[in-house]
Amino acid sequence: MGWEPAPRQTTSDFLVAVTDPFARTPRAGWENRVPRTADEFAAYWAKSTEGQANHAEAARYLQTPEHDVVGKIQHYKESARAERAKTAHPKSAYTVSLAMQVRGIMLRRLQILRGDMAAQIVMNVVFMLQAVIMGSVFLKMPVATSAYFSRGGVLFFSVLFGALSGMAEIAAMYSQRPIVARHQKAAMYHPFVEALALTVVDIPITLVTQVLFGIILYWMTGLQKDAAKFFIFLLVTFVMTLTMKAFFRALAASFARESTAQAVAGIGTLILVLYTGYTIPKPSMIGALKWLTYINPIRYGFEALLVNEFHGLKGECSHYVPSGPGYEGIGIENQVCTTVGSVPGQTFVDGDAFVAASYDYHYGNLWRNFGIVIAFWIGFVAWFLAGTERAGHTSGGATQLVFKQNAKIPSLDSPTSRSDTEKGSVPSAVVAEKKQAGAHAVQNKLTKANAVFSWHHLNYDIDAGGGKKRRLLDNISGFVAPGKMTALMGESGAGKTTLLNALAERVSMGVITGDRLVNGNPLPKDFAGQTGYVQQMDIHLESTTVREALMFSAQLRQPASVPAEEKRAYVEEVIKMCAMESYADAIVGIVGEGLNVEQRKRLTIGVELAAKPQLLLFLDEPTSGLDSQSAWAIIEFLRSLAEQGQAILCTIHQPSSELFQSFDRLLLLRKGGQTCYFGDLGENSSTLISYFERNGARKCQSDENPAEYMLDVIGAGATATSNIDWHATWNTASESSALEQELVNMHSQGRSNVATTEKEHSEYATGYMNQLSALLVRAFRHYSRNPVYIISKIVLNVASGLFIGFTFFKANNSIQGSQNKLFAIFMSVIPAASLSNQLQVQFINFRNIYETREKQSKMYSWVPMITASILVELPYNIFGSSLYFLCWYWTVGYSSVADRAGYTYMLLCVAFPLYYTTFSQAVAAMSPNVMIGGLLFSFFFSFTMNFNGVLQPYSQLIPFWKWMYHLSPLTYLIEGLLVNGIGNMDLTCSATEIQTIVPPSGQTCSSYMNQYISTAGGYLVNPSASSDCQFCPQNTTDTYLASLNMSYSNRWRDVGIMLAFVVFNIFLVYAATWLFRIRRGNPFSRRK
């Protein structure tokens, strides 16, 4: 054909190179005769002897008698069957049976559990602490009617906390989804097997958690001391927790995006909790929505818990009407117990009668309800399995570029569009030629480096525990010069990346000794700003475009004195240098929907070049994960940068001989971080090979890859061995002495020239306001390109407002109506839990990008990063709350007076979004990941809900916890909203709230009740009657508010206190970030 291999090129590399216009070399005199295009290659093959023989063989096969073909097919089937487990289905794509898959994945799940014990410990601690807190809030409730409402509150909380905690499952499911999808594509196991294993392994974990939670809560609160009732309580709460976990996992499996699942989960949780029957009893529900109770698993669990607790309970009546001064001698026949379910003439109230009259719950439904909950759990698990299997089969696919709106998209006839889809749009030969042209068309655009970076006798020690030290880098010396590419190689564990991080000042632990110098002088303060570091992992914000990512780097890493126009112009030059013109306006996206692997690597390099690194460019495994052609394209690109004067230090793993030959120098390490060689490679690696052969190594074969040869002779790898101590050999070699002398000369000459100076007097190239401005623009752009997240906020607020509004539709000013308005406010807090879980994900994503790449590059400080993360959320949350207000306020039936409606809007739609946004971000700031952030938020959020005076009135709190009532921000939120909504109004009892009292003989209702009414309040419907007095215990809403320790006069005080909590939360976000992430005091994070 006319192509010839390069020196020391392996057969496989040669075959790949023949298809690459810049990797192949024609034989002398054959330049115009060799095939070059795909059509020419195909025509040459068809005419060749080999091609004709192949064609003839195919024709003979097609003419083979049918019985021979059948025999070969049968042989193939038998061969394929032999590769499978005996119990595997013959038509399955999987080689192991379903039972073997389940067994293997369950073992893997247990290993994951053991490797992430921190999360399990946190979960158990959170549940136990919450149980202790709630147990002390409702400590030793008396067997009296005054505690009937509190008993319901305990049981409602035990259901509510499990439901809110289960929402943390959503984030965990999405973090595992890419892994499961990759395994499914490799035909390792069915995706539903992973879901089944998770469900099964989680059962004993949940059991332990719920037993600990239940034991503490049950006995501290003083629920009935009956073994059967106790174990039923444990059983129901355990199954309810499993059911809610399965529900949230099923939701996560059903939606492609986490924000959608979080929004649906928020609405679902609201409906489930709202229609449990506690916040609004079933008899008070409107008929149009009452059906929701029949499809609500929490309702069945709550009814089971409630009837189990109240069955057989006979609570002494705590309050009679009339009573007090002047009524000491009155008999029970002239009094009435105010508790629902009381019977005239009885001094106690039967528990079964109470729950029947209050909630329409009945003890006979206990085990029926338990069975229904089990059925829900099985149904949710089946939904979870089916959703996981479907998601596993639909996720992924060929990589495709996604462009921003109004972008100039390459036409379908462009070379890029005709690319090989299997390689994720790797450019064709024509595009490859453009790449090379692009790389060289921008000559002299890079900042010419004239400084030499060197390191001398570098050591790195870390604490190995027990007072011992472990040395990772041992007395390493070397340098990187402008215009040269230096390779850093060694076997796995030799310390390549460790050395790169130490040289780039990216090590945050341990002790580094030795010298790191620029022209013989100490590193400038802005060293990180004068260098570029290309990480092995290509980490970018998925919503940004290529051009925007480059501009962001240039804007923040080039000095503020450089005009914006000049930065934009330089970004365009970088796009040309990196040959990214065809996808400059493409969204980075995620793997499978966005840039492919090579394009991401080029972007990563471009981001560093956009910073105009003055000194050098560090690269960690730039060819990792690339095919041979893409790897060659990247190394050729780096070679072009070096030829323009860029200094490059690059770790690389097992390069081909061609890639290896692209480097000028080599630093070779062995395990223990010890030098085996540093110096030039020479023509065809002749200098390197000569060094090893002169010092006792075997001869390098003429067709052997020098990179593999040197690793083999030093004993690197699993099977390679060496009898020579190559580190000791290097220390005594003349090349080592020459290096020492060269460094001495270099340092002395550099000190006299003082060639490099600090560009900036701080570690950042730009000031705080420039950083904040750039971060805000990027954050708002990220949100605008994530419509699912924004729409999910809007849908959650609107749906919640409508559901709560119509649930408490047109509540009147009766006692029950006032309580309904209270719970309409209380339930308005619940959607904030889901909204907070959503925004925690965004907060932690921004933080992760900062910590993994942008922090080390000194792009910006953590302070503006936190500020931007807070500010970007507020407009969307305030807007969402405004929509909630419009759907909720007038639907419930609050006052239409302008000042009252305006006050509610200000507190609910401005102050409250400010509060929950900053509060959830403060919790996220102290959390290492989204799952633990969700658990901690559930704990703290439940803590604030427990002490706001709704579930347990202030008057019934034990003295120890009364201070927490004043410390809970929801106390002031709920008080402000409720007193503004119903304060200073008349109250009229409904017919069911009227209490009938028989006065003593000879007295009218008025004469009998006046003294009681003057002290306790209320009014008589028939004051002149002498029998069956119709008494309403309250006549103004202020009386009702006073029973809750609320006052209309406090409403503006409440606004001020809420804003004070907001200020404290903001402080806490910054403080927690500094303490747990900057100072690295996170107790949950693993030391690296």
Interval 976-1027: pLDDT, tens:
999 999 999 999 998 888 989 999 988 999 999 999 999 888 999 999 999 8
Domain boundary among 753, 776, 800: 753
Average pLDDT over residues 677-688: 92
The per-residue pLDDT for 180 is: 81
pLDDT of 834 strictly over 80: yes
Same domain, 739 and 813: no
Q: For residue 212, what pLDDT is reported?
A: 93
Q: What is the mean pLDDT of residues 206-227?
A: 93
Q: Parallel, antiparallel, or unpaired for β 511-518 and 521-522?
A: antiparallel
Residue 803 and residue 718 share a domain: no
Which pLDDT score is estimated for 1004? 93
Q: Is the predicted pLDDT of residue 552 greater than 90, yes or no?
A: yes
Residues 103 and 127 in one domain: yes
Write out the two tokens for 506. 């990216």
Do 108 and 170 sit in the same domain of this protein? yes
DSSP 8-class letter at 78: H
DSSP characters over 786-831: -HHHHHHHHHHHHHHHHHHHHHTTT--SSHHHHHHHHHHHHHHTTH
Nearest-CA neighbor of 600 among 394, 858, 843, 399? Answer: 399
* Residue labelled with tokens 């709560």: 804
Residues 893, 812: Cα–Cα separation, whole Å: 7
Residue located via tokens 């927490």: 964
Instruction: Give how far the C-alpha of residue 1052 lies from the chain's centroid of Cα atoms, to the nearest Å.
Output: 38
pLDDT in tens, 264-313: 888 888 888 888 888 888 877 888 888 889 999 999 999 999 999 999 99
Classify residue 358: in a domain, yes or no.
no
390 within a domain of the structure (yes/no): yes
Do 871 and 995 lie in a common domain? no
Inside any domain, residue 372: yes
Residue 53 has pLDDT above 90, yes or no: yes
* Strands 25-26, 3-4: pairing kind: antiparallel
With a cut of 80, say whether residue 840 has pLDDT above it: yes
pLDDT at position 563 is 93
Backbone angles phi, psi at 81, to 5 degrees: -65, -35
**Helix (H, G, I), strand (E, B), or coil: what is residue 70?**
helix
Spatial separation of the C-alpha atoms in residues 659 and 662, rounded to whole Å: 5
List the one residue out of 140, 132, 159 whose CA is nearest residue 369.
159
Q: Indicate whether 829 and 866 sit together in one domain.
A: yes
Task: Single out the residue of 380, 25, 363, 310 nearest to residue 150, CA to CA.
Answer: 310
Cα–Cα dist 125/128, whole Å: 5
CA atoms of 460 and 757, how far apart (whole Å): 27
Residue that wins the pLDDT comparison between 480 and 33: 480
Q: Output the pLDDT for position 887.
A: 96
Question: What pLDDT, on the 0 to 100 scale, is given for residue 399?
Answer: 62
Closest to 1087 in 3D by CA, of 118, 57, 126? 118
| Cα 111 to Cα 224: distance, rounded to the nearest angstrom | 40
Is 52 inside any structural domain? Answer: no
d(C-alpha 273, C-alpha 278), whole Å: 8
Confidence at residue 1081, expressed as pLDDT on a 0 to 100 scale? 47
| Mean pLDDT across 1082-1086 | 46
Q: How far apart are CA 722 and CA 713, in angstroms?
A: 6
Residue 191 belongs to some domain of the structure: yes
121 burial class (0-12, 13-18, 19+ CB within 10 angstroms)?
exposed
Tell me the per-residue pLDDT of 849-893, one tens digit each, with 9 for 90 and over: 999 889 988 899 999 999 999 999 999 999 999 999 999 999 999
DSSP codes, 1050-1085: GHHHHHHHHHHHHHHHHHHHHHHHIIIIIS---TTS
> For the domain that residue 715 is a member of, what is the CATH number?
3.40.50.300
* Amino acid, single-letter form, for residue 196: L
- Whether the per-residue pLDDT at 337 is higher than 80: the answer is yes
User: Dihedral, CA atoms, 386, 391, 397, 402, nearest 10 degrees?
Assistant: 150
Residues 6+ apart with CB under 8 A from 439: 577, 579, 636, 637, 640
User: What is the pLDDT, as a whole number, of residue 428?
Assistant: 36
- AA letter at 408: K
Amino acid code (one letter) for 642: A
Sequence-distant (6+) residues with CB within 8 A of 926 are: 936, 1072, 1075, 1076, 1082
HSE-CB of 674 using CA atoms within 13 angstroms:
14
Mean per-residue pLDDT, 930-939: 85
Q: Using the structure block, give the residue that is written with the tokens 């006798």.
A: 457
Give residue-wise pLDDT tens across range 519-537. 888 888 878 878 889 988 8
Residues 422 and 481 in one domain: yes
pLDDT at res. 757: 54
Task: Please give the pLDDT value at position 622.
Answer: 87
Residue with tokens 């709704």: 950
Q: How many domains does the chain have?
A: 5
Condensed to tens digits (0 to 9), the pLDDT of residues 20-52 reads: 777 788 888 888 888 888 888 999 899 999 999
- Provide the pairing of β-strand 531-534 with 616-620: parallel
CA atoms within 13 A on the CB side of 811: 28
Report for 234-238, 333-337, 1076-1080: range of highest mean pLDDT:
234-238
Residue 88 has pLDDT above 80, yes or no: no
Token output for 762: 């701080």
Whether residues 636 and 490 share a domain: the answer is: yes
Q: Cβ(318)–Cβ(145) under 8 Å?
A: yes
Say if residue 629's pLDDT is above 60.
Answer: yes
* Residue whose C-alpha is closest to residue 214's, from 191, 188, 239, 237: 237
Cα 805 to its chain centre, rounded Å, is 32
Per DSSP, 1020 falls in state E
Statement: residue 758 has pLDDT above 60: no
> What does the angle CA 158 – CA 159 – CA 160 come to, to the nearest 5 degrees?
95
The pLDDT of residue 688 is: 93
Distances, alpha carbon 589 to alpha carbons 398, 399, 400, 934, in Å = 13, 10, 10, 25
User: Can you state the angle between helices 429-440 and 564-577, rounded to 10 degrees?
Assistant: 140
Range of the domain at 580: 415-753
d(CA 636, CA 437): 12
Backbone angles phi, psi at 264, to 5 degrees: -65, -40
The C-alpha atoms of residue 844 and residue 788 are separated, in whole angstroms, by 18
Q: Which helix (H) or strand (E) holds 46?
A: helix 38-47
The tens digit of pLDDT for each residue in 185-209 reads 777 888 888 889 889 998 999 999 9
847 in the same domain as 747: no
**Tokens 């490859």, residue located:** 432
Q: Which residue's structure tokens are 């034991």?
A: 215
pLDDT at residue 381 is higher than 90: yes
Residue 1088 is predicted with a pLDDT of 38
Is residue 1019 within 8 A of residue 845, CB to CB? The reply is no
Q: Which 3 state secondary structure label does DSSP give 836?
A: helix
Q: How far is CA 987 from CA 632, 892, 1019, in A?
A: 82, 17, 10
- Please check whether residue 1085 lies inside any domain of the structure: no
* Beta-ladder partners of 995: 1031
Contact call for residues 136 and 958 (beta carbons, < 8 A) = yes
- Mean pLDDT rounded to a whole number for the chain: 86
- Residues 150-180: tens digit of each pLDDT: 899 899 888 877 777 777 788 778 877 778 8
pTM: 0.80
In three-state form (DSSP H/G/I as H, E/B as E, the rest C), the secondary structure along 363-403 is HHHHHHHHHHHHHHHHHHHHHHHHHHHHHHHHCCCCCCCEE
- Residues 848, 930: contact at Cβ < 8 Å? no
The number of C-alpha atoms within 13 Å of 877 and in the hemisphere containing its C-beta is 26
Residue 416: the pLDDT is 41
With beta carbons less than 8 A apart as the criterion, state whether 526 and 762 touch: yes
Give the separation between CA 41 and CA 15, rounded to whole angstroms: 13
Confidence class for position 417, pLDDT limits 50, 70, 90: very low
Tell me: do 855 and 736 sit in the same domain. no
Give whole-number Cα distances, 1027 to 342, 344, 996, 1001, in Å: 19, 15, 9, 8
Q: Which residues pair with 1031 in a beta bridge?
A: 995, 1020
Exposed / middle / buried, residue 184 (Cβ in 10 Å: 0-12, 13-18, 19+):
buried
In a domain, 759, yes or no: no
Across the range 935-964, mean pLDDT stands at 85
Q: What is the pLDDT of residue 126?
A: 82
Helix axis angle, 930-946 to 969-982, nearest 10°: 50
What average pLDDT does this structure show over 664-669? 94
- DSSP output for 395-461: S--S---EE-TT--PPPTTSGGGGSBGGGTSB--HHHHHHHHHHHHTTTT-SPPP---EEEEEEEEE
pLDDT at 420: 44
Q: What Cα–Cα distance (Å) separates residue 926 from each residue in 919, 930, 935? A: 11, 11, 12
In a domain, 446, yes or no: yes
Residues 544 and 676 in one domain: yes
The verdict on 865 and 1010 lying in the same domain is no
pLDDT tens-digit map of 425-447: 333 333 333 344 444 444 555 55
